[in-house]
Amino acid sequence: MTTSTRRTTDYRDSWINPRLKIAALWASTMFLFGYVDLFGMFRPDVRADIEAGRMFVFSIGQGTLLGVTLYVALPSVMVFLSLVLPVKVARTGNIVLAVVYGLTIAGSAVGEWNYYILGSAIEVALLAGVVYYAWTWPRSLGAEADRVSDDGASRRVR
């Protein structure tokens, strides 16, 4: 195989920062939150509950809507916070919130329609990815670590 042929068939598996992976997982989770809830608006039982002033087992009021807004706002903000918080805080926050949200999502799917169960299962899988990437976040090798420059060449820092 010639060098020119190899260049067109070899692919570089670039390293992706765990912050980006985690932020992308939170963003994907938020898309599913929105769509699964939106699809619920087509269900007659959900519409009837809303008309009766109920949402699940809660009465619709300022407190309930404030709580739901907070519930949705936290993972939305985690997209950004995963990118900017100090590593120790980002790791802990991502692990704790992903586990809590995974449990609440799994619990809310009990007895639901199939579309909701599927959406919830995917959300939980995405949150498991958040926990995995936060848990396995690579440790710094310190001042003697190899660093990669902008051109991709490895250099030793002393």
pLDDT value at residue 14: 78
Q: Tell which wins on pLDDT, 155 or 22.
A: 22
pLDDT value at residue 56: 82
CB–CB of 22/133 below 8 Å? yes
Smallest CA-to-CA distance from 21 within 145, 138, 102 is with 138
Smallest CA-to-CA distance from 29 within 123, 129, 131 is with 123
Asked whether residue 142 carries a pLDDT value surpassing 70, the answer given is no
- Cα 95 to the center of its chain, rounded Å: 11
What share of the chain in percent tops pLDDT 70? Answer: 84
Per-residue pLDDT, averaged over 34-53, amounts to 94
Report the first-to-last Cα separation within the chain, whole angstroms. 39
Smallest CA-to-CA distance from 50 within 32, 34, 64, 33 is with 64
Per-residue pLDDT, averaged over 96-104, amounts to 98
CB–CB of 30/97 below 8 Å? no
Distance CA 158, CA 156 (A): 6
Per-residue pLDDT, averaged over 42-48, amounts to 95
CB–CB of 19/82 below 8 Å? yes
Which tens digit of pLDDT belongs to each residue from 46-96?
A: 999 999 999 888 999 999 999 999 999 999 999 999 999 999 999 999 999
Query: What confidence category does residue 3 fall into, taking pLDDT thresholds of 50, 70 and 90?
Result: low
Every domain of the chain and the residues it spans: 22-39+72-135
Enumerate long-range contacts of 48-57, CB under 8 Å, 24 or more apart: 56/108
Question: Which pTM was predicted?
Answer: 0.80
